[in-house]
Amino acid sequence: MLDLLMKVSLVLFMAGSLLDMGLGLKLRDALIGLRDVRFLGFGLVFGFGFGPILALILTWVIPLEPSYAIGLLLIGLTPCAPFLPGMVTRAHGDMNYAAAMLLLAAVGTVVILPLAVPFVAPSLTADVWSIAKPLLVVVLLPLILGIAIFDRAPAAAATIRPIVKKVTAAATIAVLILCAVLYGKGFVSTFGSYAIGAQIVFFTVITAASYLLSGGLSQSRRSVLALGMCTRNVGAAMVPLFSAAAVDQSAMIMVVLGVPMQLIFSLLAARWFARDARKQ
C-alpha cells in the first residue's frame, strides 16, 4: 500500500509541477531560448552528454555497490527538476530560458532515457516502451497540455492553476513523508558506502562545469543552464526502477537520495549566481 501511495504521489507531483508550469507559459517565450543555438547546444551537451558520462566515470572511479551505481547513472540521465523556475527566480536568471530548459529537458529525457537504460544499466529488465510510456504521460503530456490551455483559454488556465498548485503541494509533502517512511533506514545505510560522496562530487562538478564552461552566454542564461544541470528529475529517474522487475531497493535509495542533495546544491548555486548577477 505504501509503495502504491508513493507511486501515485510521485505521479501527481511530477505531472502537477509540469502542468502548473505550462499553465503560465507562453510558447513563444519558451521558443526564445530554444532559438538560441548556443544555449540549446550547451543544454544538450551538458544535459545528455557530460552528465551521463560524468556519472559513468564516477561509477568506475568510486567503489560503489552495483545498485548504487545504477541509481547514480539514472540521476545522470535526467537533468532539470520541475521546480527549476523557483530556483531561477532566486538566482535572478532569465525566466524565458528557464521555460526553454524545461522543454528541452522534458523532450530529451523522454527520448534518451528509454534508449540509454539498456546500455548503462543492463540489469534492469524493463523494455524501451515500458520506460517511455510513463515518461510521456507524466513528463511531456502535462507540460504540453498546460501550454495549450494557456494559449487557447488563458482565463481557464488562471482558474485551474491555483487548484493544480494545491494538489502539487500536497503531493510534494506526501512524497517527502513516504520517502522518509519507506527509505529512512536505507538512507542510514548509505553512510560509509561512498553513495553520498559520489553524489556530492557529481553535483559539484556538473554545476560548476556547466556554469563556468558555457562561454558566450550571458550570466543570466548561464545560471539557468547550471541550475538545470544541478537539479535532477528524480521522478523520471525512478521510472525505469518502477518498470523493471526485482530491482534492488538500494538503487531506489540512491535515486531518492538525490532529492535532498539537489535541493542543497541548487539553493547554494542560486545564491552564488544571484551574487554574480548583482555584481553585473
Residue 265 predicted with pLDDT over 90: yes
Distances (CA, A) of 35 to 39, 96, 100: 8, 11, 9
In this predicted model, which residue has the larger pLDDT, 90 or 29?
A: 90
Is 117 within 8 Å of 126 (Cβ atoms)? yes
Tens-place pLDDT, residues 135-166? 888 888 888 898 889 888 889 989 999 999 89
Please tell me the predicted confidence (pLDDT) of residue 126: 67
Write out pLDDT tens, residues 2-25: 778 887 888 888 888 888 888 887
Q: How many CB atoms sit inside 10 A of residue 280's CB?
A: 8
Q: Which domains does the chain have, with CATH numbers?
A: 2-279 (1.20.1530.20)
Q: How far apart are CA 5 and CA 23, in angstroms?
A: 26
Residues contacting 186, CB < 8 A, separation 6+: 249, 250, 252, 253
d(CA 156, CA 149): 7
Q: How far, in Å, CA of 18 to CA of 139, rounded?
A: 7
Please give the residue that has the higher pLDDT: either 196 or 208.
208
Instruction: Tell me how far CA of residue 176 lies from CA of 9, 171, 256, in angstroms.
Output: 10, 9, 10
- The tens digit of pLDDT for each residue in 46-86 reads 999 999 999 999 999 999 888 899 999 999 999 998 888 88
